[in-house]
């Protein structure tokens, strides 16, 4: 018979392992909530994201609904049809937001939207470059967040063939979906 504290530890450990084994997000490519009937699948790649990975936040331009992604360099997630902006990029160094205008892209229901390779800290000039800076959200993050200055350029590169190939190797059941070039601009 297990000691009560060991039982509690075992239940907690199993719960955490089960939580980690499932999808990282409700809008992952294997989602039970989103799919081709109610969303489009955003696929892209990150470059220079930092040692601990990067969290991305996308905001629907018309509804202000936000969706997040945390994980590997290759990212993919279902988003409802609409126009989105890259509203923040977080890493171990802090969270960056758009300085004047964000990178944006569109999503079509039932299609894959290839949004490009986002290179953090790229060297301008580039076909698509936007400036991001550290988000300042006020005392204890109770205020409205602002970006007081441009600090990091974000470039978008077109590496569609390679990124989509890797995506279809990972998710072969989605290989029949049409692929739109929806490079962030």
DSSP states of 37-70: TT-EEEEEEEES--TT-EEEEEEETTT--EEEEE
Q: What is the mean pLDDT of each run of 10 residues along the chain (185 residues)?
A: 40 33 66 94 85 79 92 90 92 74 96 93 72 77 74 88 96 96 94
For residue 120, the cross-strand partners are: 154
Model pTM?
0.78
User: What are the tokens at 124?
Assistant: 């301008």
User: What are the tokens at 57?
Assistant: 């936040």
The domains located in the chain, with CATH, are: 30-181 (2.60.40.1120)
Q: What is the pLDDT of residue 91?
A: 66
């Amino acid at each position: 018979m297990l000691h009560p504290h060991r039982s509690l530890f075992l239940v907690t450990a199993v719960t955490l392992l089960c939580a980690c084994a499932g999808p990282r997000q409700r809008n992952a490519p294997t989602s039970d909530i989103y799919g081709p009937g109610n969303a489009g699948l955003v696929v892209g790649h990150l470059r220079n994201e930092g040692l601990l990975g990067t969290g991305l936040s996308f905001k629907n331009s018309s509804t202000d609904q936000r969706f997040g992604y945390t994980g590997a360099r290759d990212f993919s997630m279902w988003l409802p049809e609409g126009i989105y902006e890259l509203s923040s990029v977080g890493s171990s160094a802090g969270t960056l937001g758009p300085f004047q205008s964000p990178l944006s892209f569109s999503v079509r229901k039932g299609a894959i939207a290839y949004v490009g390779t986002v290179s953090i800290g790229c060297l301008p000039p580039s076909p698509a470059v936007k400036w991001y800076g550290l988000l300042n959200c006020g005392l204890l993050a109770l205020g409205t967040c602002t970006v007081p200055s441009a600090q990091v350029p974000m470039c978008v590169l077109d590496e569609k063939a390679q990124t989509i190939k890797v995506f279809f190797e990972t998710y072969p059941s989605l290989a029949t979906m049409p692929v739109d070039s929806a490079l962030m601009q």
